[in-house]
Amino acid sequence: MTSPDTIQPGDAEKPVRGDGSPNLRLDLLLLSVILLAICSMSWIVLNLIHSVIRNDLREVLSAVASSTSSEFQRQAAEKIRQVESLAGSTSVREAVSRSLEPDPARSQPEKDTAELENLLAGMLGTGRFAGFCVVAADGSILARSGALSAAESAFRQLLPAYRKTNQPGAGRFVLLDGNEGESLFIAAAPLTDNQDQYLGWLVFFNRPAAELSTIIAVNPLGPDGAVFFFDRGGRLLAAGLYDQAAGENPHPGWAASGNPAATAAGSGPYAAAGASGRTGEQISLDLDGYTGIRGTEVVGAWTWLPSPGVGVAVELDLAAAYQSYRWIRLLVLTAFGLSVLLFVVLLARLAGSRQDALARAEQAVVANERLQQEIELRGKLEKIIQENDEYIRSVVSSIMDGVITTDSSGRIETLNPRAEKMFGYRDFELAGEKLSVLAASPYSRQLTQRLGRYARDGKASFIGKAIEIKGRRKSGKTFPVELSVAEMKLAGTGKLVAIARDITKHKRLEKKLREQSSLDGLTRIANRRTFDSTLAHEWKRASRHGLPLGLIMLDIDFFKNYNDSLGHQAGDQCLRQVAAVLDKLVRRPGDLAARYGGEEFVALLPETSPRGTSYLAEKIREQVEALGMVHPASQVSAVVTVSLGEVNFVPQRSQDSSVLVSAADQALYEAKHNGRNRVIRARE
């Protein structure tokens, strides 16, 4: 019998197997599984980050476009109110009537015209308009200021259509088309004499750059963004580029009104938006990239405002918008590439080592050395895998959002530094704890139920979706969090990756924008839109449950006379004080005080008895009168008073909420007709 370590004759002629061994195939399988796991985790992380960044871009661009449109519409409404107020003043009415008086005995028509021009020139002195003209009903110009003859001619072409709406309160704010000349904004109001006979139109002009300067000066996006306005043909009207200091002009040619060659807007998506005339209720977005007004690739949002015929667009440089994603992707792909390279190198070395070992398989000493080499090589491989895992961890740690990994049952395994800072825990403090420990009630219970269902039957409706919850810090404080959870398989084992984002700042901005859109700008109580939506909701609730619903509508007595005698600043102060009385008295949860329009206010009173509605209406009347605001032009009192109409009944499902408003309005009319400064209840 021979020793296993003894070399026998003829062994040198035995063929050496070169097709590999079971150990080689096992190592190859193990490396393939590890490489597949790294690839899967990289793909999941990249997709989650890309989705989060796109959602952020959508929310930011939509919010800036919406707030810019709202501010523009608010300023337009204010300009109409100013021009209507001036057109309705007694001095302007009398001056226009004298200019039109056909009395041949009058020998001072030039003096009348000069008097009218001097009277209206005060509006130009405030810097709000660039010029004006008074257009008679026959299209002739009675008075003018500013070299704007092309604009006057364009407005006279609109005069036949405007005669159909020439009653007081029919003011217009539109953009005159700049296809053949300079584009201009006009604020126009009909003129009538003291008997409300139609005389013509009072028209103020302004250039887009001056009209829009205060809006485009805002800087919410930083040096890589732009906000601008365009007309129906996609031509640029005015632009605010956020790499400019306040007050500086844009780059040469960018502010040239009506110049399609100066910008890409004339051939971009904005020209299509203006031509289609889509309403401002819809904001269009392009997050994939297109050529912006600066000739670079951008992402953007735009909307069209049919009245006054202006579009609003917001752009953000494409490279800046996705810069963080590109850096993260580069890091992840670099790590993956290094892993592949190491895999190939190690595989080649392993194959070579095994071929060499098989060639000397007959020698026991050489076989032992080869075995030792394999052990050392396996240790090196494990060390490289460990180093690669640490590299991936460092990439995850650099992400600005919190990244939390758990097992398939939702028990926390790791937290990146951002997650530790966000929740106040160290990584080892939460090891083995449920993910729901980071959520406040009731979200903690909901998260526990969802994770339990996933661990039980693999069903998880929340996987791959972003949900908003209340997070809970170690100190016990709660804060809003956007949580996205993804699942992955690592060597056959299920894992969950949760990305948490602190959205406190976003919620504050969202609340601020919501308040700006729901409050009246002058009185700081609810506006008409808020009242309409609240009334619709309370009407349905009251009709469904058979509850009473009360409404008070009030109007300041002889408010126009108050404005004419004391001026509009005093009138604005009067409106604010009346609104303050309403805000003080209408304080019950669910009640709403709102400015309905002009000098009219409303108070909506859910679940209030008829007696309670009448009591509150009388209380409002008394406290407004008790303010003691002097009213030199009132015909019923020496101080400011209000007339009120109130109604209260249980809505029926077959009725519409307009029944309640109409009844209160009719009662208000009777209160004014019966002598004012009184409360009238609507007839049943």
Q: Which residues are catalytic?
A: 599
Report H helices in 301-363. Answer: 318-321, 323-359
Report H helices in 438-586. Answer: 443-457, 504-518, 528-545, 559-566, 568-585
In contact, 594 and 530? CB cutoff 8 Å = yes
Strand (E) or helix (H) holding 299: strand 297-305
Strand (E) or helix (H) holding 210: helix 208-211
Q: No. of H helices and E strands in the chain?
A: 18, 20
Residue 86: which residues within 8 A CB-CB, separation 6 or more?
92, 120, 123, 189, 202
Residue 608: which residues within 8 A CB-CB, separation 6 or more?
548, 549, 550, 591, 616, 648
Pairing of strands 642-649, 549-556: antiparallel
Residue 477: which residues within 8 A CB-CB, separation 6 or more?
none
In contact, 54 and 175? CB cutoff 8 Å = no
In contact, 215 and 194? CB cutoff 8 Å = no
Residue 137: which residues within 8 A CB-CB, separation 6 or more?
163, 198, 199, 200
Pairing of strands 198-206, 184-192: antiparallel
For 432, list phi and psi in degrees, rounded to 5: 85, -10
d(CA 523, CA 534) in angstroms, rounded, equals 18
For 411, list phi and psi in degrees, rounded to 5: -85, 130
d(CA 323, CA 320) in angstroms, rounded, equals 5
Tokens representing 12? 């040198």
3-state SS record for 551-587: EEEEEECCHHHHHHHHCHHHHHHHHHHHHHHHHHHCC
Identify which of 452, 457, 422, 602 has the alpha carbon closest to the alpha carbon of residue 526: 602
Identify which of 269, 270, 213, 210 has the alpha carbon closest to the alpha carbon of residue 236: 270
User: Exposure string (b/e) for 652-680, b if CB count within 10 Å is 16 or more?
Assistant: eeeeebeebbebbbbbbeebbeeebbbbb
